A and B are shown apart, each in its own frame.
Chain A
Amino acid sequence: MLVRCLAIQGSWNYELMMGNGIGFCVEPALRRLPGGVDGTPYREALARQSAYFNAHPYLAGLAIGALARAEVDQVPPSRIVRFRTALCGPLGAVGDRLVWAAWLPACSLLALLLFGLGVSPYGVVASFLVVYNVGHFLLRDWALRAGWQHGLRVASALGHPVLQHGPRYIGRVAAVTGGLALPFAAHRAIGGGQLLSPIPLAVSVITPLLALLLVRAHGRIEGWRAVLYLLVAFALYSVVR
């Protein structure tokens, strides 16, 4: 089931969201139901689990474990359906806060810091992938086990300190890492040199001004769009002058 969880969003769409993925991941456990894959309990359970569902992909393991346990324990279907509906919101919100808004940016900023410190390309890539995926796989494994262990009482697992307080601590580490990473990474990318020489000095003056503009324009223009316009204008000037 853990391996199948890696493909949980394989058929993500606007109609079922990751519902079919939940059915796909729970399916091996359902084979334990009376009659096996040809039995009515198996078919009814698979149909229930393949209906609309959405959650964070890493934390969906909590739902998968809990739903698999409930089906194997032959909990009444109406309770399973109610429980399944109730799980969608919290798993999405907690996972987004912990992974997409904290762990992933923290690891990205670490990679930028390593780049700035002159680590080799393979060293940067390997460090990023190892650090990120240690957290990733620990979370997926814990979620699946906790779901299976707690069954329909899995809501208590959402109170785990890492889920509750993790984003705060990771966010602080990311802020420090980001502050250190940006000057080092920018310095390496422009080819080094004394900070008081023209190019590094220009970068260290222009960058905070641009950042300030982007912060003030937050919500009105995306940074990538501004960079795109800037670089296209720069490239056109360079090739046509």
Chain B
Amino acid sequence: MIVPSVITMELVPIALLAGVMGLDVVSFPQVMISRPVVSATIAGAFFGAPVAGLACGAALECLALESLPVGASRYSEWGSASVVAGAIAAQGASATSMPRPSQYVLAIVVGIGTAWVGGWTMVWLRRLIASFAHPRLEQLAAGHRRTVVGLQVFGMTADLARASLLGIAAYIPASALSAWSEMHWTIADGPTRAAVIAGVAAVAAAAVWNDFHAISGTRRLFLASLAVGTTLVALGV
């Protein structure tokens, strides 16, 4: 019985991890286990390749720097997306190796796509909670304790389910695509990594440049430390 075994071995952990990491984004407890550098690494470790998960998480973290979860705006949901990306990056990697080239690109693409869809699912969740709350507004206005607690529990449960389902829905096609792209990938490891890293590092650099522009001197500090960092790397420190 191969199918049930695959479901147990892969989909159950994906659903659990994606649910927990997705819940952390807004609902509970916001300790930032949902950040890509954490959730992709944990997912990678779960599938036996923590270094590959970390490499994927670091790349997605560069992108996540750009979208700060400020206020009631719609922003990408990186928690469950990074779990899926970390699991894809781990495919075919060993405990100490970086992701394979096709898996690296696919993991980043799937991570970005899932985070974008995840942002929309959070909007739908908020509407769902509002529609659940609407018939209960009179009870809330009357100070019913069970209604207050019930609404809170409903919201968190729905968010957990949302993130779990999103994780599974993204992982199944991504996993199939991963096997196919592995067979058909033709570009070598070095240029593939270079394409991924140049893109995400540029986004991170632009994010730092833009995010701290209001604080005097930060851009000069950033450029100076960038020069120092590049020199240290060139010197092989």
Find chain A residues with CB under 8 A from B41 CB: 121-122, 124-125
Find chain B residues with CB under 8 A from A210 CB: 198-199, 202
Query: Taking the complex as formed, is B1 at the interface, i.e. its CB lies under 8 A from any CB of chain A?
Result: no
Find chain B residues with CB under 8 A from A16 CB: 130, 133
Interface residue SS majority, chain B: helix
Residues A132 and B202 in contact in the complex (CB < 8 Å), given A10-B153, A101-B68, A176-B222: no
From B187, B215, B233, A172 is in contact (CB under 8 Å) with B215
Q: C-beta contact mask, B45-64 vs A, less than 8 Å → 1, else 0?
A: 10000110111001101111
Q: C-beta contact mask, B144-162 vs A, less than 8 Å → 1, else 0?
A: 1100110111111001000
Shortest beta-carbon distance, A28 to chain B, in Å?
A: 11
Query: Taking the complex as formed, is B194 at the interface, i.e. its CB lies under 8 A from any CB of chain A?
Result: yes
From A15, A57, A172, B130 is in contact (CB under 8 Å) with A15
Interface residue SS majority, chain A: helix
From A46, A129, A181, A240, B143 is in contact (CB under 8 Å) with A46
Q: Which one of B154, B184, B204 has the greatest number of beta carbons of chain A within 10 Å?
A: B204
Give the nearest-CB partner of B203 in chain A.
A223
Query: Taking the complex as formed, is A207 at the interface, i.e. its CB lies under 8 A from any CB of chain B?
Result: yes
Interchain residue pairs with CB less than 8 A apart (13): A7-B28, A9-B27, A20-B148, A46-B148, A108-B37, A132-B31, A176-B221, A190-B194, A198-B190, A203-B194, A206-B202, A238-B186, A238-B192
Binding site for B on A (CB under 8 A): 6-7, 9-17, 20-21, 23-24, 27, 37, 42-47, 50-51, 54, 57-58, 92, 96, 100-101, 104-105, 107-109, 111-112, 115, 120-122, 124-125, 128-129, 132-133, 136, 167-168, 171-172, 174-187, 189-191, 194-196, 198-199, 202-204, 206-211, 213-215, 218, 222-224, 226-228, 230-232, 234-235, 237-241
6 further A-B pairs in the complex, CB-CB below 8 A; given A96-B70, A107-B32, A228-B109: A11-B152, A13-B133, A96-B71, A133-B32, A179-B227, A231-B196
